[in-house]
Structure 1
Amino acid sequence: MARARALSTPSVIAAGSLAASPQPVLAASGGLLLRPWADGDAPAFLAAYRDDEIRRWHTRRPSAETEALKWFDAYRSDWQREKGAHRAVTRDGGEVLGRIALRGLDFDDGVAEVAYWVVPGARRTGVASGAVGALTAWALHEIGFHRLELVHSTRNTASCGVATRCGYVMEGTKRSAAVHDDGRHDMHLHACVLSRVR
């Protein structure tokens, strides 16, 4: 659970807001359901990280199903400790099409970061935009976050397009901010602020 600190202003989100209930399943456009990861998803999760494009942008990746299961346990713990909300992006709750997460939760300032990937067969079909849109609406309007950030390599033009389509304004470039397999990358910082969401 998020720890409170002495503030001169109240926290934007009260501690306990997430952990008090199970992580909800979110519906998105196109028959998508964003649900917590289940142990049975481990093979699909591991297979996704064997894809060259996902590996290109994600340097932390599981090497075996047993490791994927440990990640799922950590994801459940993140929810209970109010550190993150990790979901499988699925077609009607079944086939795994991607991953989406809300991480780096700051309840005091009401800020969090969105991260995602999509499997090869689901790319350019609206899956990423649908998932990001649904998670954004939930985080801003139901949980009460004020600002969500989305960061990606400046070389990842597909993610730049998803961010822009979902209302995340590009605010600048974080120079040499992340290490990828081929070295350091500059990163674009996008953000979606509650007052700008219609």
Structure 2
Amino acid sequence: MITGAGIPDVVPAGRMADGAQPVLGLARGMEQPHWSADDADALLTAARDPAIRRWNLFTAADHADARRRIERMHERWRGETGAVWAVARTGGTAIGLIGLNDIDLAGGAAELVYWLLPEARGTGLAVTATRRLAHWSLDDLGLHRLRLCHSTANPASCRVAEKAGFTYEGTMRGALLHADGWHDQHLHARLAGDPG
């Protein structure tokens, strides 16, 4: 489609919705499959984890709510507004989440988000999964820009962004309201063609 300004869409509408969400392979027997109803326990566990609750603004009150959230993930793929994967051992249940929020296919941009359950932290898995999703988003889907934002009080996410090839672009003051108040956020980004 070409907009009124005569600029073609960076990624044509339907590029996601017309196909199935792919499983993204990772090293060391890990993969990024789409979420299934069988992963509701993992989502509920994440919603109760203090670190995930501190840095990620989501809740799941019970198993039924977790299953509804998983169904909304699939709806977002079909609506081309979001793309959410589990992070799991091949054939296993989810131990993390990674995805794209605020997908703008016409403008070629999205925000990358992630979390890992405690047993998966500190293993380099967040960096590996972030690199893999960035590759798929920029090279396979065809987006131009991915942003990764995190509270300035979360240095672990800053390290993940840097190791995954996201360039630090600045600090956004008072950008996100957490349970303990407004947080400044670091903005990192990766563009198509940036060194991987």
- Classify the TM-score, shorter chain: over 0.9
Asked if 1:77 is matched to 2:43, the reply is: no
Count how many residue pairs are aligned between Structure 1 and Structure 2.
196
Q: Is residue 178–residue 186 contact of structure 1 (8 Å, CA) maintained in 2? A: yes
Asked if 1:190 is matched to 2:194, the reply is: no
Runs of 4+ in structure 1 deviating by more than 2 angstroms, as ranges, are 3-7
Asked if 1:13 is matched to 2:15, the reply is: no
Q: Which runs of 5+ in 1 are unaligned?
A: none
Counterpart of 1:167 in structure 2 is 165
- What's the CA shift for 1:112? 0.7
Residue 77 of structure 1 aligns with an amino acid whose one-letter code is E
Q: Is residue 47–residue 58 contact of structure 2 (8 Å, CA) maintained in 1? A: no
Residue 63 of structure 1 aligns with an amino acid whose one-letter code is A
- What's the CA shift for 1:104? 0.7
- What's the CA shift for 1:51? 1.1
TM-score (structure 2 length as normaliser): 0.96
TM-score (structure 1 length as normaliser): 0.95
Q: Is residue 30–residue 130 contact of structure 1 (8 Å, CA) maintained in 2? A: no
Residue 100 of structure 1 aligns with an amino acid whose one-letter code is I
Counterpart of 1:151 in structure 2 is 149
Counterpart of 1:115 in structure 2 is 113
Q: Take 2:93 and 2:14, find their aligned partners in 1: how far apart are those partners?
A: 32
Q: Is residue 32–residue 131 contact of structure 1 (8 Å, CA) maintained in 2? A: no
**Which of the residues 90, 93, 97 maps onto 2:91?**
93
Q: Is residue 16–residue 78 contact of structure 2 (8 Å, CA) maintained in 1? A: yes
Q: Which runs of 5+ in 2 are unaligned?
A: none
Counterpart of 2:38 in structure 1 is 40
Q: Deviations over 1:96-118 (max 9, x none)?
A: 22000111111122111100000
Provide the aligned C-alpha RMSD in A.
Answer: 1.3
Q: Is residue 38–residue 93 contact of structure 2 (8 Å, CA) maintained in 1? A: no
Counterpart of 1:31 in structure 2 is 29
Q: Is residue 3–residue 9 contact of structure 2 (8 Å, CA) maintained in 1? A: no
